[in-house]
């Protein structure tokens, strides 16, 4: 994510948003116990202060490609799916975990692909960060599945339960990864 400062007062020259899509169809009719989206960070710059990071819902035209229309129009959600993370807490050498809240859990697509977006607070709150002449960016970067190897791929772990036949017993099963 990157909000770049323009040389003109109160103008920004870019905003970046990230998408993370996961096939969660194996959950089926199970109940969701908890879910965590993990993004491996490798960079951050917060010369524009006071921002945090949030996971929101997203939609895409396909499950395999992000288009300009998706970027501009399909990640406009403002409801956080997990508690926001401050820039200070964003790791550039490890996974950053977003433990989903009840809203996030209810938005998991149990029969298809779950689609999430990472936005900075100025974007999901629709309020521009405070502009300053010397400020450069509010920026974090996370590894994508396209990065070489798989050790830093985005992960989405969903713990879900099946009701055992004849009663309310639950079995916990580890779910989805990238």
> Cβ of 113: how many Cβ atoms within 10 Å?
14
Give the distance from CA 65 to its chain's centroid: 16
Question: Tens digits of per-residue pLDDT, 72-114?
Answer: 888 878 899 999 999 889 999 999 999 999 999 999 999 999 9
List 40's β-bridge partners, or say none.
Answer: 95
**Cα 164 to Cα 30, 123, 171, distances in angstroms:** 11, 43, 7
Question: Tens digits of per-residue pLDDT, 145-161?
Answer: 888 888 999 999 999 99
pLDDT of residue 22: 96
Query: Please, which pLDDT band fits residue 144 given cuts at 50, 70 and 90?
Result: confident
Query: Which candidate, 122, 127, 126, places its Cα nearest to that of 46?
Result: 122
- Cα separation, 75 vs 21, in Å, equals 12
Contact yes or no for 92/44 (Cβ under 8 A): yes
Question: Tens digits of per-residue pLDDT, 15-74?
Answer: 778 899 999 999 999 999 999 999 999 988 776 667 889 999 999 999 988 888 888 888
- pLDDT at position 174 over 60: no
pTM score > 0.95 for this model? no
């Amino acid at each position: 994510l990157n909000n770049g400062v323009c040389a003109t007062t109160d103008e920004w020259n870019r905003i970046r948003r990230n998408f993370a899509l996961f096939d969660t169809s194996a959950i089926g009719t199970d109940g969701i116990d908890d879910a965590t989206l993990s993004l491996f960070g490798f960079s951050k710059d917060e010369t524009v202060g006071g921002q945090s990071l949030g996971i929101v819902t997203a939609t895409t035209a396909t499950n395999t490609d992000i288009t300009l229309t998706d970027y501009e129009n399909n990640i406009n959600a403002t409801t956080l799916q997990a508690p926001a993370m401050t820039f200070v807490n964003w790791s550039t050498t490890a996974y950053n975990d977003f433990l989903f809240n009840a809203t996030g859990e209810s938005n998991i697509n149990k029969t298809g692909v779950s689609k999430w977006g990472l936005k900075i607070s100025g974007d999901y709150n629709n309020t521009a960060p405070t502009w300053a002449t010397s400020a450069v960016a509010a920026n974090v970067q996370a590894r994508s599945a396209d990065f070489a190897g798989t050790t830093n791929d985005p992960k989405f772990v969903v713990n879900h339960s099946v009701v055992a036949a004849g009663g309310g017993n639950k079995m916990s099963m580890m779910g989805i990864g990238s």
